[in-house]
Chain A
Amino acid sequence: DIVMTQTPLSLSATPGQPASISCKSSQSLLHSDGKTYLYWYLQKPGQSPQLLISEVSSRFSGVPDRFSGSGSGTDFTLKISRVEAEDVGVYYCMQAIHLNTFGGGTKVEI
């Protein structure tokens, strides 16, 4: 099974300042079709998870451009260029190359 490890566990962010979250997989997420199946989700307090980024770096419809994803193989990063109050919640990475596995989550607070 693929293990997804997120760091940090929690993050105290400052509005207007950048923040980043790391996600490492135990196996490469690069598929033979050339795509890398790594997704990022945000679960705001009391809500269902919402998709932010698909396939490492593609922002989902309606996601602000302050969110960006990068990485390859087994190492990935989600960056928020300027944190806003509405960005609080728990961020999860998920691999989709072999079934699905979520990272443990990173709680972002202001």
Chain B
Amino acid sequence: EVQLLESGGDLVQPGGSLRLSCAASGFTFTNYAMNWVRQAPGKGLEWVSFISGSGGTTYYADSVKGRFTISRDNSKNTLYLQMNSLRVEDTAVYYCARWDSWGQGTLVTVSS
């Protein structure tokens, strides 16, 4: 059974940094591209970032480009999202997603 378990969400001040993790199990992690998707409170879904199975290709939404970095450690079956220069508008539940499977999400709150 595919399982994706996010962690690392927290309350952080504007301008701060946070690293999210997503532990994957139940499938051959290196064979799958992965994504981060976020959902602001009461809002819809917003794609954030993509990484290929090898980690060699990454893409970002314009809203996070230059501030967020996606990465993966295939030896640990773990996906990461390094978030820097956080803004109030980054407040959201962050999901890791394989498109056919999603984690339960982790809440990031950016507030002073």
Whether A105 contacts B104 by the Cβ 8 Å rule is: no
Interface size class of A (residues with CB under 8 A): 20 to 34
Whether B50 contacts A102 by the Cβ 8 Å rule is: no
User: Which of A18-26, A65-73, A76-84, A93-101 lies on the face that meets chain B?
Assistant: A93-101
Whether B99 contacts A92 by the Cβ 8 Å rule is: no
Whether B102 contacts A48 by the Cβ 8 Å rule is: yes
Which residues from B are CB-within-8-Å of A39? 99
Q: Mark B31-63, 1 if CB is under 8 A from A, else 0.
A: 000010100000011110010000000010110
Which residues in chain B, 55-112, are within 8 Å of chain A measured between CB atoms?
A: 59, 61-62, 95, 97, 99-105
Whether B100 contacts A48 by the Cβ 8 Å rule is: no
Which residues from A are CB-within-8-Å of B62? 1
Which residues from A are CB-within-8-Å of B44? 90, 92, 102-105
> Is A14 close to B, CB under 8 A?
no
Which residue of chain A lies nearest to B60 when distances are taken between CB atoms in the complex? A99
Whether A100 contacts B35 by the Cβ 8 Å rule is: yes
Which residues from B are CB-within-8-Å of A99? 47, 50, 59, 61
Whether B47 contacts A50 by the Cβ 8 Å rule is: no
> Is A11 close to B, CB under 8 A?
no
Which residues from B are CB-within-8-Å of A105? 44-45
Which residue of chain A lies nearest to B6 when distances are taken between CB atoms in the complex? A48
A41 to B99, CA, bound (A): 10
The smallest C-beta distance from B91 to any residue of chain A, in angstroms, reads: 18
Which residues from A are CB-within-8-Å of B97? 49
A60 to B100, CA, bound (A): 8
Which residues in chain A, 41-62, are within 8 Å of chain B measured between CB atoms?
A: 41, 43, 48-51, 54, 60
